[in-house]
Structure 1
């Protein structure tokens, strides 16, 4: 394991998840703001670890593996907490779409890597837009409190639906790229 600055930031993001959950359930008026701040910190460290890995030439296989795991864990935990706090279809549907897509695309990437075609399902530009909308939506949903006349929670919910739509779109892009291999003749693969 290569413990450089980017990897330490990623591990810090994972270590923050139990704190994030604990703060979410605190019975204090400032808990929403603190939870949103922890989530924002996680998002910032996600950007920072990638930036530093490139800038300091500290990319590693361990970091390439751990970074998306940390991101997906934080997003999945945030979505689960939000649905638990506000059970109902309006939040559960986009949460299920986002989590389901992450599981499906992770499995697709793993399978593509096993057959030596990982580049076919590399992160796309639409995936980056989806991630930005998703992170902003989750931040607003966690914050919850209106800011002056701005209905923060409702804006977050709309953005979560935008993120869910982009999630489906990016999944279709990935599946279309992989479809020739998914649909291809696998007799050689079965004989091995």
Structure 2
């Protein structure tokens, strides 16, 4: 067990804390839930940075990091869909969660072919992730239908567009293998 893996496990452990805090009936609860999400987002960046810098990449970390990421983001989006209860919030959440499922399956399949590098994380994916984290933080932290939450909605839509774009790029990269006759 190393520090990057412990940070990833911390991120997973923060999920129930986020949910609990999100539903607390106190005025400070949204900002506390947002802070928990921000800590989780920061550990997502930090664990990867430390694993590369200290040469502590591991099979456990390679498995857990994307799982922790997808669990935290998906859970937060589900909470937000419930809170806003509007189709315009559900649509970007469906796009983001659906893309994660498609790309996870695509990466797994490409790995079976020994071609996982064909669907490696791109710069667009990194920008998309940053926009997602900022938007979810704003939407969790601030009262719905306020200026800050509308900024979060705008950032969420930008993230959803980048999500679609990056998915198209991943599928395009894998297309020759997807359409190859066996």
TM-score range relative to shorter protein: over 0.9
Tell me the alpha carbon deviations over residues 153-180 of structure 1, each in whole angstroms, 9 at most, x when there is no partner.
0000000000000000000000000001
Paired residue for 2:170?
174
Q: Which segments of structure 1 move beyond 4 Å, counting only runs of 4 or more? A: none
- Over alpha carbons, which structure has the higher Rg? 1
Corresponding position: 1:136 with 2:134: yes
Using structure 1 for the length normalisation, give the TM-score. Answer: 0.92
Could you say what the CA RMSD is over the residues aligned between the two structures, in angstroms?
1.1
1:145 positional shift: 3.9
From 39, 53, 56, give the equivalent of 2:54. Answer: 56
**For residues 115 and 50 of structure 1, what CA distance do their matches in structure 2 show?**
25
Tell me the alpha carbon deviations over residues 71-115 of structure 1, each in whole angstroms, 9 at most, x when there is no partner.
110000000000011111010000000000000000000000011
Corresponding position: 1:165 with 2:156: no
**For residues 45 and 79 of structure 1, what CA distance do their matches in structure 2 show?**
19
Paired residue for 1:189?
none
Q: Determine if contact 1:35/1:143 at 8 Å carries over to the other structure.
A: yes
From 14, 17, 22, give the equivalent of 1:16. Answer: 14
**For residues 45 and 120 of structure 1, what CA distance do their matches in structure 2 show?**
26
1:151 positional shift: 1.1
How many residues are aligned here?
181
**For residues 161 and 179 of structure 1, what CA distance do their matches in structure 2 show?**
26
Tell me the alpha carbon deviations over residues 7-34 of structure 1, each in whole angstroms, 9 at most, x when there is no partner.
0010010011001001000000001000
Using structure 2 for the length normalisation, give the TM-score. Answer: 0.97
1:52 positional shift: 1.2
From 12, 27, 31, give the equivalent of 1:33. Answer: 31
Paired residue for 1:105?
103
**For residues 119 and 85 of structure 2, what CA distance do their matches in structure 1 show?**
34
Consecutive unaligned residues of structure 2, counting only runs of 5 or more, are: none
**For residues 166 and 50 of structure 1, what CA distance do their matches in structure 2 show?**
22
